[in-house]
Structures are given as structure tokens and as C-alpha cells.
Structure 1
Amino acid sequence: MCRPPSRQAAMRKVLFGVWILLSATAGWAQTAGRPDSVSGQRKPVKLSRKERRELAQKVAYDAKKTAAAVLSPKERELAEALYVDGVKYVILEDYTKALERLLRAYTLMPDNAAVNYKLAEANLLSGNLRDATNYAEAAVHLDARNPYYYLLLAQAQASQKQYDAATATYASLVQQVPNSGSYLFQLADLYIAQNKLPEALTTLDKAQAQFGALDEISFKKQQIYLRQNNLPLALKEGENLIASNPTEPRYVLAQAEMYAANNRLPDAQRAAEQALRLDPQSPQAHLVLADIYRQQKQQPEMEKHLRLALENPSLDVDQAMRILVGYLKQLPDPKVTPLALDLAAVTVRSHPQEAKAYSMAGDIQATAGKRREARDSYLHALRYDKSKYQLWQQLAVLDAELNQPDSLVRHTDQALEVFPNQAPLWFFNGVGYSLKHQPQRAVQALEHGRRLAAGSTDQQSQFDAQLGDVYNELKDYAKSDAAYDAALAADPTNYGVLNNYSYYLSLRGEKLDKAKEMSGRTVAKFPDNDTYLDTYAWILYKQKNYAGAKENLEHALKTTKDPSILEHYGDVLWQLGEHSGAVAAWQRARKAGPGTSPLLDRKIREQKLVE
């Protein structure tokens, strides 16, 4: 919905919650009836109990000396000097000194409205809301014609969530202070905030009677009618706004949105097209039309207007992100994927220097299975904003999935300069070095990351799983087994660890019964996984159960032509005496590509098993 327009220049704009409190440094007589300092946005500074107690004791002592006394000219001059000095310290935000001087002035002239007002302000800014309220009430009582005293009292009350009291203060202000009709708008806002909608309407009617038909009054009334579910009156106020502003498209758009939200689609379309005639470049008009066509199930028209909206650089990037998030949540629906990808690309073109646009495009591309495109989008996002940890992590995941170890190491090194204490980045850094067959550097990264992950069992389990692989490559089998055992202690169903651990044990020919038990669990869970079947078969091979190994490898070969599995199949056939079949299997393994053992060429050349 559109923002309300500004009020006429003759009216003061004082928003609820933002209070204008002016301080004077001029003569005493000039300060009693006007604001003194701008303080509405200062952060309160709380005085300690000791400071308040010392001030109170001093005031009580001074009050006894001056009680019921008629001030001499010298005492009056002192009071005025103390007041001006107190005002100075309020401006300097030294509230301890301000209160000390103002309280001394108060002991001399407790019935002076300006002194009470300034004491209220100093207490409010120092966090003593109760005393601020008391002094502000006294100021209002002593001078009921000064609007700023009411404003300060209302602020103190609102700060204590005394909204009924604040409302009553505003009502008194409007009633007691001449020419204070502009505050009717703040009074209406208070009523709206408390959901006292009839009172708010009555107050706005008074404002309209005083100031005439203003856009702000119509806008506020429209919002109230909408909250009351009174659509006819809300639409009527909308038409009043349009009639008063015939060249202003935002009111026409607001009307279109109301029509659309209440299923009056022909009226909504008419209003949206009217707004588009007033402003042919309006992305909001295209968005309204897109929503109308969506409700009418006119997909091509909906897509057209949605693209036109997102192509417009004037569309706020955050609003574009909200639209794209709606499509991201629907992925990977194949019916939605093409449009989501297209809209993401359009948004990137219209916001070419916005990290958010690239990041969202990356999320959509990754969810749609376009990992390379997603990786590029995340890289573009990081050119404009390196402070988003999630971007670095997503980039690392994609580097790993795409088996790009050089990029994975480079990008995680860059990320760790910004986020050196993020354990997952150290994990991916270690994975990168492991893929580059630099196990020593991998161990350094993984062990450091594991220490950072202290307290997170899940993260430490992931580090242990990777450390098991890396220590095995270093032939430090004791540490490798310990890491695998730790990972399985944390997660006994980590089938990747069960497979790797059992396979490496089979290669070493150690703990084969344990290896068979672990591998058997993975095959039972994933009976058609060729990698797990190959591991189980190789353990059986090491146990000289060649028939069982053959059965599992043939099962695996139904779904894969992995060269290492073909080579293992040839080895099993040789042990079973099927020598010609073994040589044929080895030859097929060579044609299948890399991934075989260094002994494969000898097996083929010598046409016999070499181990």
C-alpha cells in the first residue's frame, strides 16, 4: 500500500514517538513558554541509584533552607543562572550535572513551569521515567497552554507503555492549547495504535472539519476502514484520493490492489491499466497486473507483466527478492523451473551490481540442478559483497561437488581470511587439499577445523570421517582407524564411513571380519549401489570367497561400467579359473577409462593375474 502524503506546509509534522524538545540558553523570561532542545532521538543514559540518592539528599537539604521563603533578587538571579547552566548540561548530555543544577533551581522556584519541564526532560533522557512523568505533569499543571509540555508528558507515558494516559494527554493538548489542531493527527495515530478505531475516525473527522479534505485524512480513514473490513467505505476514500490527485498513479495502484485483494478482478484490471497509462514505466503496475492475470489463470500474460516489472531497475531489489523467493520455494517443480531461472536472469540484468540478485540467482540455479551456473552466480555475488558467510559456504559446496579442487582450495583460502573461525570452511579447505593429493596440508586444515568444531558432535563427526581418509592416504593407519571409529561412535549409520573404512581394511587385509560386518550393513541398506557392492565383493575376495565376490560384482555391473569394478571382476574370474573371461574383463576395464590399478596393463600384457 502507498505511503500517506505530507500534510500542508502550514501544519506541523510531529510523528508519534518522535518528539521535538528544544532548549533555551537565552533569558529566563523567554524560556517559560517555548521548547528548548532537540532531544527526541537521544539514547537515555541511566543514572545509578547512588547518584540519584545523593542528588535527592542535596535537594532535600537545600529545600529545607529555602522553604516558604520569598526570593530576593539575588536568589532569583541564582535560580535563573542554575536553570541556564542545567539547560547547558542537558545539551551536553551530562545529565548528572544537569539534574544537580536544575534541582537546585527547583528548590528555589518549585512552581516554575520551565524548571519542571527541563527536569522532566533530563530525567527522561537519563532513564528515570517515573520522575520524568511527575515533573512533566507539574509543568502541564503550571502552564496548560504550552504544547511542548504535553508532548514531553506523552512521551514519558508512552515510554512506560501507558498508552491510555498518553492518549488522554494528547486529547488535553488539543482541547486546552489554542491553534493545536495539527496534533489531532497524532491523537488519531495513538487511537489507531490501540485499535480504538471509532475514536480515531472521530478525531480525523475533527481534523477534516478544521483543515478541509486533505489526502492524509483520506488515507488514514481508508486504512481504518480496511481494518474494520468495511470495503465500500475504504474504496470510497480511495476514489476521493484519486479524484484529488488525478495525475498521481500511486493512489490508483492502491485502489487496484484493494480490488484485486477482494476478487473484483475486472475493476482491479481497469485501475491497474489506468495507473500504467499515468506511468508507463511503473513496475508496481505491472506487478498488480501480473497478480490479476495469475488469479485469472492467464499464464502467458502473467509471465509477461512479471518480466516487465523485474526488468525495471526502479523496482526495489528487496521486492524483487521476495518475488523470487516465492518461486524458489516451488523448486524443483519442473513446471516452475524455466520461469524461475528466467526471472532470476532478468533480475541480475536489471540489478547488475547487487550481490542479492546474484545470490538469489545462484540459489535458484543450484536448486534447479544447474550447479556450474550457480557457482558462477555466487562468484559474482562475492565480487560485490564478501561479508556473507553463506555465499562462501555455498561456493565451497559447489566446488567440491563439481570436483574442482584448485578452485575449492583457492576460494576457501579467501573465505578464511574473512571468517577464520568458521569450522566448515576449514573442512572444505581440507577436502580441497585431499582431492589435490596433498594429505599433509589436508590434515593441518582438518585438525584445526575439528578443534574449532568443539561442542558440535555432528561437525566433529564429519571431520573424523575425512581425517580417516586422509590418514589412510598417509599410511598412518592407527590414526585413520581411530578417526573412523570416532566418526561411527557419533553416527553409526554413516554409510560413507562404513564403506571407506571397510574397503581400506580389505586393501590392507586386516580386520576382515569387522570389514565384512560394516560393508554388509551398507549393502543391506543400499542393495543396488555399485560402489558398496564392489567393496563387499572385494572383502569376500580377500577372504577367498570368490563365488560370493563374483555374485556381488555381477550385480554391480548391471548398473555400472566402472573400470575399477570391471578390473575386480576380472581378478575374481581368474581366481575361479575363468582365465579368458578374466582377460576380457581387464580389457573392458582399460577401454572404460581411468580409475584402475597400476597393475592392469601388466595383467593384460601377461594375460594373468598380478597382485
Structure 2
Amino acid sequence: MPYLFSRCGALMPPFALLLRPVRMIRSASTLLLALGLLVAGPVCAQQQPAAPGKPAAADKPRKLTRKERKEMQRQAALEAAKAQQQSQITEKDRELSAAYFVDGVKFMLLEDYPKALERLLKAYQLDPNNAAINYKIAEANLLIGNLKDAGNFAQAAVRLDGKNAYYYLILAQIYASQKQFTEAAQVYTKLIQDVPDSKSYLFNLAELYLAQGKLTDALTAFEQAEKEFGPMDEVSFKKQQIYLKQNNLDKALQEGEALITANPDEVRYVLAQAEMYAANNRLPDAIRVAQQALRKEPENPQAHMILADAYRQQGNATESEKQIKQAFESPELSIDQKVRILVDYLKQLPNPAIQQTALELADITTKVHPREAKAFSVAGDVQLLAEQKPKARTSYLQALRLDNSHYKIWQQVVLIDAELAQSDSLLKHTNQALELFPNQAVFWFYNGVGHTFAKQPAKAVRAFEQGKKLATDNPELAAQFDTQLGDAYNELKEYDKSDAAYDAALTFDANNAQALNNYSYYLSLRGKNLPKARDMAAKLIKLFPENGTYLDTYGWVLYQLKDYANARQYLEKAVRTSRDGTVLEHYGDVLYQLGDAAAAVEHWQQAKKAGGTSALIDRKIKDRKLYE
């Protein structure tokens, strides 16, 4: 792309002046140039040499038309008026104007625009028809945001010297700054028409048309530019976008084919063409062109991705899976692209049809990007949804070794520890998380759960109490803390605190299943407030009529109330849904109370095998007698 030389001798890049603020180069030569502009007047463009073979002057003068004679008379009158105005300026005024002008340019360089304007306006008062002065005043006003005055002086500069590209450019910039794209486009059109060697501004004109949504006009400008400067890749891309917006797919594809032909070694053009075919459901063509790219670059991941998507749309799952795995094995497919793809798989899990592919892609990602925390994090997400919890935890922990700052990954780790009921891991990981996030209540909660698993109720209470202080703005979490405190205080035999904690939890949520179950069960074991225990357990049964643990709790509360017949009814249902040792032992106890000692002993024996029974189970079996 050629650069334009302005009439003032400055190098002017054609693409750079649409919206860029005008900046002056900080050098002494600028001042000399400005002074030259003022003293010598606007410099005219160099005359082009006569075309080869054509005489410099016509051999025989042609007779002028009436219209041409009128135009010449008008131009002569304008030149005479201008000459008269210029002649009215004394040499002293001209020198003083020049001095003010130079001062103004100096302050412009120093970015002291108020002083610059003061000097430039004094120069203007002495020499108002100097195009360079009008131009600099327009520039100063533009830089301080006074667009109205900037526009007026820029228009004057263009009017006074219609052959200087800079004057048109600043006027177009002023219009564009106010989103007056139509006016800006008109300025560029006149610039291209009136100023020699200014065809490169066709690109600016095309961009202005695009900003207005005038696609046809933009196309015309780009095509004119191509006639002047030849085919250009970026222009072809722009034309493709325009054709696509016009729903002219064939034209867009033609541009793509032309790019490929002109640049046979540029795989990116081949891939762009394949993507265009795929996006428009021309799958055989997309596959053909993507394979063409792979013949040039067999490991190109983008080509494999295009093929994977095309084969998927064709229903060829085997080939699609093969292609996407090849793409994932390439380090050139960025980790961010791979994460985005895996997230799409996550949205579809659990789904047996894609689960294995998702797991394999996650494994490939961690192998290709072993130093990327996000690779292990997304792999952990996939594995977790695939119910591979221990493996997911391993992936999450590796992600944290690479970057331990992610709160949500720590949360996933401790949740898995809690679900697996692994107290050692839960305590280790919550302690590590609390070093980084000491004010996060959730980690105190699971730290307390870890101590509960480890039969350390005093430490559990300390963790729960600390966490509850941090959960004041989260009443739901605070209620969970109260439920856990009820259990822990009960273990410590601090029954008043235990009851108060359960009551607080049920005040927030009267249907809190854990609080209803444990509170009523512990009251029954203590033989305290049994009517309240019965009401809570009955409510629980209405909410969960088939839950074996809750049926056992209600049956045991009835047993403590000596309502053995009803206790048997619920304990019998509990035994059918649960083979827990405590449930079996309770059922044996109620059978003994109802006079069926043989059946009682049989269930006590089953309870012992199941485990989790009371310390009296052996005596009950040996003596065939109930001990309480």
C-alpha cells in the first residue's frame, strides 16, 4: 500500500487518519514547515508530466462552450477578489501573523492548547484567508473538544485550499467524531476527486460506509481501491463479510477461492473457506477443503476441529470423535479453546453417549498442558459429573498445586472428602483452605464435619461456632451450623446447648430433616420431652414416609412412650427398607416387649452381624433377655 505525501511534505499513512486525533511531531523541523506554509502560502501539488506521446499543448485551440466561459469568468472573479484581499495585508502584518502562527504551533507541541489558540487566532485576525492558519485553529479546537469551531475552520481551510489532503482529513475526522458519517464520507469523496494521488483514501471511505451499514457503497469503494492498488487480502476479507451480510454466499465463497488461489501456501485462507462452508451447512465441501488444509499441515488442530464438527453433523460419531481427539492432542489448539469445548460436554453430562469421550478429552488436555491449572480443573469437573469422585479430587488437587488461589476448587475438594466420609482428608484439606480463606464460613463448616467424623466433638464445636459467626448474613448456612452444633453438643452431653441449637435450626426451617430426626432421637434416648420428640418424628414421617432411618426414629420414640404395638408397625417397615444394625436391634427390642422372645433373639443376632449396635447386644443374645 503506497503512502501519500501531503503537499506540505509530510508522510501520510492512508489508513490512519479516520478517527485518530491529529498529533504534531515534536521537532524543530515542524516549526520550519509551519512557517514555510504561512510565508510561502499553501504549497501546490507538483505538476504531473505530460503523458508519453502526447504534446504538452494542443496543436489547435478548441472553441470554449458558453458554460466553460462562464466558469472561467467566475474563477477569474474569485482569484481577483482573493488577490485584492491579499494585497490589503501589509508586509508588516504578514510578518506579525507569521510570528503568531509559529508561537501557536509551539504551544500546540507543548499541548498548551488555550495559549496555542490565543496565538493562532491573532494570526487569523491579521491573515484570515490563510488556509494553514485555519487548519491549525481547527486542529487545536478538535483537540480540546470544541467540535463546532473545529468544523467551521476546517471547512474554511478546505475552501481556501482545495488541493491539500490534510485539510480534508481533519474535516472528515471532525465529522466522524460526531458520528456524522454521511458528511465524513462526502468529504472523503471530494478529497479523492479533487486531490491528486489520493486514491488510497478509498479504504477510509469504505470503512465509513460500513459504519453506516451502506454495504453496497462500501463494496463499490473497495472495488475501486482494488482497481487502483490490486487485490489485497484484508480487502478480500472485508468483501467476504459484506457478501455474507448480504446473504450472497456464492460471492463470499468466490472471494475465498480467489484468496486461496493467490496464496497457495497460506493454510489460514483454506481453513477460513472450510469454516464458511461448514457454517452454511455445506458439509461435503467443508470436509473437502479441511482435508486440503491437512494435506499442507497434517497436524493442524483447526482443520481437525472443522472435520470433527462436520462429521458430527453428518451423524458419523466415530470419525468425529477421532478428529476431535487429534485436535486436542495438538499443543497449538489453545488451552482456552479446549476448556470451552469441554464445558460444552459438561453441559450435556451425565450422558452415557458422550461421557467416555469427555473423559478421554479431559485426560488428553491434562497430558498436553501439564502446567495449566485450568486443564486439571475442567478435567476434575468432567470426572465429578461422571461419578469418578476420587479421580476428580486428584485432578482438583493438581490444579491447586499449580494455582492454589481458586476458592471454588478448594470447595469441590472438601465436598468430595465429605461425601466420601474421609475425615483425615477432610481435616487436612479444610485446614489448608482455611490458611488461604480464613473468613470463608463453608471451610469452617466442613472442618467441623471432619472433626465429627473423627469423633472429636469438642474440636467440632469450636469449628462450628467460629463458622457460625461468619455466616450472619447467610441464615440458611447458619441453620446448618446450628444443626451440626446440636449433634456435637449432644456428644459432649451438653444437652441444654444441644437442644437450643436444634431449636434455632428449626426456627429457621421447621422441616429441617436432620434436626427433626436427630433432636427427636436424642430426646428419646434420654427419655426427655417425649411428646415433643413424638411430634417431631411424626412430622418427619409425613415428609419422608419410606425412609428407613426416619421410620426407626419414630418407632423408637413410640417404644420409649411404651406404645409397643405402634412402635412395632413402624420398626417393621424400617427393617424392610434398612438392614442397619441399630434398626434391627430396635425391632428385636419391641418384639421382646410384645412377648416374642425367639423372634427378638433372631433380630438381635442379625443386628450383631450388621454392626453398629449397643454395648448390650451380646448379653441380650446370650441371656435371651432384654437389657436397657
Q: Identity of aligned pairs, percent?
A: 51
Is 2:26 the partner of 1:24? yes
Per the alignment, residue 593 of structure 2 pairs with: 575
Per the alignment, residue 119 of structure 1 pairs with: 140
- Per-residue deviation, residues 31-71 of structure 1 (Å, max 9, x unmatched): 5899xxxxxxxxxxxxxxxxxxxxxxxxxxxxxxxxxxx87
Q: Give 1:506 shift.
A: 2.1
Is 2:332 the partner of 1:303? no
Per the alignment, residue 230 of structure 1 pairs with: 248
CA distance in 2, matches of 1:28, 1:136: 24
Change (3 A) 1:447 1:210: farther
CA distance in 2, matches of 1:220, 1:269: 24
Please, which of 119, 122, 140 is the counterpart of residue 108 of structure 1?
Answer: 122
Alignment gaps of 5+ in structure 1: 1-6, 35-69, 91-97, 124-128
CA distance in 2, matches of 1:338, 1:483: 46
Change (3 A) 1:387 1:31: farther
Q: Give 1:488 shift.
A: 2.7
Q: Give 1:350 shift.
A: 1.8
Q: Give 1:236 shift.
A: 0.8
Equivalent pair of 1:487/1:497 in contact (CA under 8 Å):
yes
Change (3 A) 1:159 1:121: closer
CA distance in 1, matches of 2:304, 2:585: 62
Change (3 A) 1:508 1:288: same
After the TM superposition, which of the residue ranges 292-301 and 443-452 deviates more from structure 2? Answer: 443-452
Please, which of 258, 262, 271 is the counterpart of residue 240 of structure 1?
Answer: 258
CA distance in 1, matches of 2:492, 2:409: 32
- Per-residue deviation, residues 119-141 of structure 1 (Å, max 9, x unmatched): 34643xxxxx4x25643663564
Matches within 5 A, 1:149-298: 164=182, 174=192, 178-298=196-316
After the TM superposition, which of the residue ranges 143-152 and 450-459 deviates more from structure 2? Answer: 143-152
Change (3 A) 1:17 1:119: closer
CA distance in 1, matches of 2:327, 2:95: 73
Specify the code of the residue in structure 2 equivalent to 1:597: S
Per the alignment, residue 455 of structure 2 pairs with: 437
Matches within 5 A, 1:539-554: 539-554=557-572
Q: Give 1:214 shift.
A: 1.1
Per the alignment, residue 424 of structure 1 pairs with: 442
Q: Give 1:198 shift.
A: 1.3
CA distance in 2, matches of 1:590, 1:33: 110
Matches within 5 A, 1:362-441: 362-441=380-459
Equivalent pair of 1:503/1:535 in contact (CA under 8 Å):
yes
Is 2:109 the partner of 1:87? yes
Equivalent pair of 1:24/1:31 in contact (CA under 8 Å):
no
Specify the code of the residue in structure 1 equivalent to 2:207: D
Equivalent pair of 1:481/1:501 in contact (CA under 8 Å):
yes
Q: Give 1:292 shift.
A: 1.6
- Say which SS state the counterpart of residue 263 (structure 1) adopts: coil
CA distance in 2, matches of 1:152, 1:418: 56
Specify the code of the residue in structure 2 equivalent to 1:102: A
Is 2:567 the partner of 1:561? no
Change (3 A) 1:477 1:214: same
Please, which of 514, 517, 537 is the counterpart of residue 499 of structure 1?
Answer: 517
Specify the code of the residue in structure 1 equivalent to 2:595: G
CA distance in 1, matches of 2:35, 2:422: 75
Q: Give 1:514 shift.
A: 2.4
Is 2:356 the partner of 1:338? yes
Alignment gaps of 5+ in structure 2: 5-12, 38-91
CA distance in 2, matches of 1:350, 1:230: 41
CA distance in 1, matches of 2:579, 2:589: 16
Please, which of 450, 461, 474 is the counterpart of residue 456 of structure 1?
Answer: 474
After the TM superposition, which of the residue ranges 433-442 and 250-259 deviates more from structure 2? Answer: 433-442
Q: Give 1:280 shift.
A: 0.4
- The alignment yields a C-alpha RMSD, in angstroms, of 3.3
Equivalent pair of 2:538/2:554 in contact (CA under 8 Å):
yes
Specify the code of the residue in structure 1 equivalent to 2:140: L
CA distance in 2, matches of 1:229, 1:453: 57
Matches within 5 A, 1:40-59: none
CA distance in 2, matches of 1:407, 1:390: 17
CA distance in 1, matches of 2:422, 2:556: 29
Q: Give 1:184 shift.
A: 3.3
CA distance in 2, matches of 1:383, 1:205: 56
- Say which SS state the counterpart of residue 463 (structure 2) adopts: helix
Q: Give 1:237 shift.
A: 0.8
Change (3 A) 1:149 1:548: farther
Equivalent pair of 1:566/1:586 in contact (CA under 8 Å):
yes
Is 2:625 the partner of 1:608? yes
Higher gyration radius (CA): 2
- Say which SS state the counterpart of residue 306 (structure 1) adopts: helix
Q: Give 1:107 shift.
A: 4.8
Specify the code of the residue in structure 1 equivalent to 2:26: A
Per the alignment, residue 360 of structure 1 pairs with: 378
Is 2:537 the partner of 1:534? no
Specify the code of the residue in structure 1 equivalent to 2:300: S
Change (3 A) 1:284 1:603: same
Change (3 A) 1:311 1:17: farther
Q: Give 1:434 shift.
A: 3.0
Per the alignment, residue 57 of structure 1 pairs with: none
Q: Give 1:548 shift.
A: 2.2
Per the alignment, residue 477 of structure 1 pairs with: 495
Per the alignment, residue 3 of structure 1 pairs with: none
- Say which SS state the counterpart of residue 281 (structure 2) adopts: coil
CA distance in 2, matches of 1:211, 1:145: 22
Q: Give 1:238 shift.
A: 1.0
- Say which SS state the counterpart of residue 303 (structure 2) adopts: helix
Specify the code of the residue in structure 1 equivalent to 2:119: A
- Say which SS state the counterpart of residue 546 (structure 2) adopts: coil
CA distance in 2, matches of 1:33, 1:599: 113
- Say which SS state the counterpart of residue 544 (structure 1) adopts: coil
Q: Give 1:217 shift.
A: 1.4
The TM-score, its normalising length taken from structure 1, stands at 0.81
Specify the code of the residue in structure 2 equivalent to 1:305: Q
CA distance in 2, matches of 1:370, 1:295: 30
Please, which of 138, 144, 147 is the counterpart of residue 153 of structure 2?
Answer: 138
- Per-residue deviation, residues 415-467 of structure 1 (Å, max 9, x unmatched): 33333333333332332333333334433433343333333333333333333
After the TM superposition, which of the residue ranges 507-516 and 172-181 deviates more from structure 2? Answer: 172-181
Q: Give 1:541 shift.
A: 1.5
CA distance in 1, matches of 2:604, 2:36: 102
Specify the code of the residue in structure 1 equivalent to 2:538: G
Equivalent pair of 1:512/1:539 in contact (CA under 8 Å):
yes
CA distance in 2, matches of 1:453, 1:121: 56
CA distance in 1, matches of 2:389, 2:624: 43
Q: Give 1:213 shift.
A: 1.1
Per the alignment, residue 50 of structure 2 pairs with: none
Equivalent pair of 2:294/2:303 in contact (CA under 8 Å):
yes
- Say which SS state the counterpart of residue 577 (structure 2) adopts: coil
Equivalent pair of 1:25/1:84 in contact (CA under 8 Å):
no
Equivalent pair of 1:105/1:115 in contact (CA under 8 Å):
no
Equivalent pair of 2:104/2:120 in contact (CA under 8 Å):
no
Change (3 A) 1:277 1:409: same
The TM-score, its normalising length taken from structure 2, stands at 0.79
